[in-house]
Amino acid sequence: MARQNRSDYDDEQSADEMYELNEIFSKFKDDPHEDCVRVKRLTEVIQALGRNPSMKDAEERIDELETIGKYELTLDDILQILREPWTSANNDRDDLRHALERFKHEHDDYIDVERFRQAMSTLGEPLAKREVDDLIRLGLANDQKKIDIEYLLVQLLGDNA
């Protein structure tokens, strides 16, 4: 597959979208005068850009990049990586809602924080404590003891996903 550069991506995206992508990308630069981020920050960058791949997939991709000597990524590199199918995993609202509803309390759309913490720390691909804490903070709307499923989905995927 031919590598697309930023100008190819510009044809597909509006100037406003490219500006927003660049602003998000820039937040991950170690040095604001450089046009790259460390490859170790790949997962954070693509999550900030709205993707939610598994940690395993992200770590494998980082390892692949490091194996070929790629330790820094430009915005063009990130845009190319965003086209890879593995970055789109786990972003389906209905699938995520269905998965979260398995942990909800009785017949409402809330999940007990401790039940959520246990599930996210032990089931499937366990999340790190920090990641679980971040998700909990995202899902707490008004009630500080329960995670609002719909509110969490909006925080993770936006209103239109």
Ramachandran bin of 62, using left for φ above 0, alpha for ψ from -120 to 50, beta for the remaining angles: alpha
- Which two structure tokens, joined as six digits, stand for 52? 């939610």
- Look over the chain and give the mean of its residue pLDDT values, rounded to a whole number: 81
pLDDT, residue 89, reads 61
Across the range 82-98, mean pLDDT stands at: 77
Q: Does residue 40 or residue 52 have the better pLDDT?
A: 40
Please name each of the domains of the chain with its CATH number.
Answer: 6-88 (1.10.238.10), 93-157 (1.10.238.10)
Rounded to an integer, the average pLDDT of 36-65 is: 89
Question: Helices H, strands E: what count in the chain?
Answer: 9, 4
- Residue 57 φ then ψ, to 5°: -60, -45
Euclidean distance between CA atoms 137 and 134, whole angstroms: 5
User: For residue 37, what is the enclosing H or E element?
Assistant: strand 37-38
CB-based contact 96:157 (threshold 8 Å):
yes
Report the distance separating Cα 25 and Cα 48, nearest Å.
8
User: 17 or 126, which is more confident?
Assistant: 17
At 142 the pLDDT is: 66
Q: How confident is the model at residue 36 (pLDDT cuts 50, 70, 90)?
A: very high
